[in-house]
Amino acid sequence: MKKYLLSLSLTTLSLAAIAQNRVTVNADAGKTVISRHIYGHFAEHLGRCIYDGFYVGEGNSKIPNKNGVRLDVVEALKKMKIPNLRWPGGCFADTYHWKDGIGPKAKRPKIVNTWWGGVTEDNSFGTHDFLNMCELLGTEPYLAGNVGSGSVQDLSDWVQYVNFPSNSPMSNLRQQNGRQTPWNVRYWGVGNEAWGCGGNMTADYYANIYRQYATFMAPQVGKETIFRIASGASSDDFNWTETLMKNIPGKMVEGVALHHYSTFGWGPNEKGSATEFTETQYAHTMHEALKMDVFVQKHSEIMDKYDPQKRIALVVDEWGAWYEVEPGTNPGFLYQQNTMRDAILAGATLNIFHKYAERVRMANLAQAINVLQAVILTKGDKLLLTPTYHVLEMYNVHQDATMLPVDVKTEDYKVGDYTLPAVSVSASRDKAGKTHISLVNIDAGKPQEITISLKGLKASAVRGRILTSPKVQDHNTFENPTKVKPASFTGTKLNGDNLTVTLPPVSVVVLEM
């Protein structure tokens, strides 16, 4: 009898352990479309993001380019299906005067990038260069306007310069500079981090400033209306969002921004290494990253009070990990490596954005090339794709697909003082009727078996791709650029409307039904 009870007890414990990771995909309840624009990117005049990243100069004969823009970068970003690109900042935006960057390049004034490294720039990459590059990439531009040190007239002129098709002072100037038709830029940021580098303003003061600037931004963009994005809160500054939503009339704003970085601290040498970190430090980074769920939820609840129809988007136009720069590089250039830790962070964050797709309709990873959590690193004529790149490329199947609600019961991942969910999940159905499920095993030490109930879905087959590596610190280098790359995934068992998946430690998987 004792032997039987012991056996029963062990069986119960075993079943309980498996039952911890249970997911229901409600395939019959999908209503909200996941906007492709949450897969946006960010290109600031910072370090080697623009110069020596996107742009190597028209006269460069060593690196294949079109009008100075690297063609290998274009190819990589097109494969990733980049939907929008934010420029020229960031903090740089509120010191940038766009008229310095138009006209003959030899006549453009030089400027000092006071925010990032104190380097002198020659303005050879300006409005025409950026917007033409967006056309080459097949992506929509997102221009960040200068509110901190610019004027209402400057921003109004910029809108007219890039958008007005007929006879006007600014459209005539555009045509004199070689562009006949407008670019029809829809997305505009009205300042950046107004609470900090954008002017150290109070929320009340910025709300009034925003209203002034937005008033003079011509509302029509071709057949669409302009999409004005207010400079939003940092992380958990809920008062900032409350003040903006309360004081800015709904008809004057289309989006409110939110910024959140996962880091160890903002003091000197507090951010930790991008590649040399312990499992506890990894858990801390993920703890900070997963706060995005709470931040988005609470900012959304505030917005719901003033905008119950959810007409105004929450735009998370800066997110990602922030570590110390790589040894020997300029501290002001924010050049950091990118490991499996960052891949896990990216996958889990995108799953959060999918969850709140009704309100989160745009986001921008910081930043695209050679800065912070970059998807591409360059060195001379060499280019490598980071683990984060591979996650966004794998996840692009969710772009403009219908979000399928998921119920998730997950085991805990415990490290030191940190207790995190071991598994992150999201799902969608695309226009062709295919269902995709993205799964992240955050646990660095053990695999996770997940039982998925496919409610309202009859699947005949499943295939998948996986990104993983033996160590969470693993990353790609110019000597070994494909150490971390996607592979086919076979760790699934389909039985009717139930699917069993076994995820290796620190892995990202995307399944297709």
Please list the active-site residues. Answer: 193, 318
Return the closest-CA partner of residue 80 out of 385, 404, 348, 364: 385
Helices (H) and strands (E) in the chain, counts: 10, 29
Taking only Cα atoms into account, the Rg of the chain, rounded to an integer number of angstroms, comes to 24
Query: How many CA atoms lie within 13 Å of 84's alpha carbon, on the beta-carbon side?
Result: 26
Q: Are strands 84-87 and 492-495 parallel, antiparallel or unpaired?
A: unpaired
Sequence-distant (≥ 6) Cβ neighbours of residue 322 within 8 angstroms: 261, 262, 263, 271, 334, 336, 372, 373
Q: Phi and psi at residue 76, in whole multiples of 5°?
A: -65, -45
In the DSSP assignment, the letter for residue 339 is B
The encoded tokens of residue 127 equal 């409005």
Query: Distance between CA 401 and CA 433 in Å, rounded?
Result: 9
Written as one letter, the residue type at 166 is S
Query: Distance between CA 110 and CA 333 in Å, rounded?
Result: 19
Return the closest-CA partner of residue 241 out of 266, 199, 285, 210: 210
Mind giving me the DSSP string for 332-361? GG-----BHHHHHHHHHHHHHHHHTTTTEE
Q: Are 58 and 15 in contact (CB under 8 A)?
A: no
Q: Are 389 and 424 in contact (CB under 8 A)?
A: no
Return the closest-CA partner of residue 159 out of 125, 189, 197: 189
Cβ atoms < 10 Å from Cβ of 195? 18
Residue 66: enclosing H or E segment and its boundaries? strand 65-66
The encoded tokens of residue 257 equal 């921004």
In the DSSP assignment, the letter for residue 37 is G
Sequence-distant (≥ 6) Cβ neighbours of residue 450 within 8 angstroms: 21, 22, 23, 423, 425, 439, 500, 501, 502, 503
- Whether the bond between 505 and the residue before it is cis, its omega within 30 degrees of 0, is no
Q: Are strands 119-121 and 111-113 parallel, antiparallel or unpaired?
A: antiparallel
- Name the β-bridge partners of 407: 24
Collapsing DSSP to helix, strand or coil, 19 comes out as helix
Distance set, CA 445 to CA 196, 385, 471, 504, 507 (Å): 39, 25, 10, 9, 11
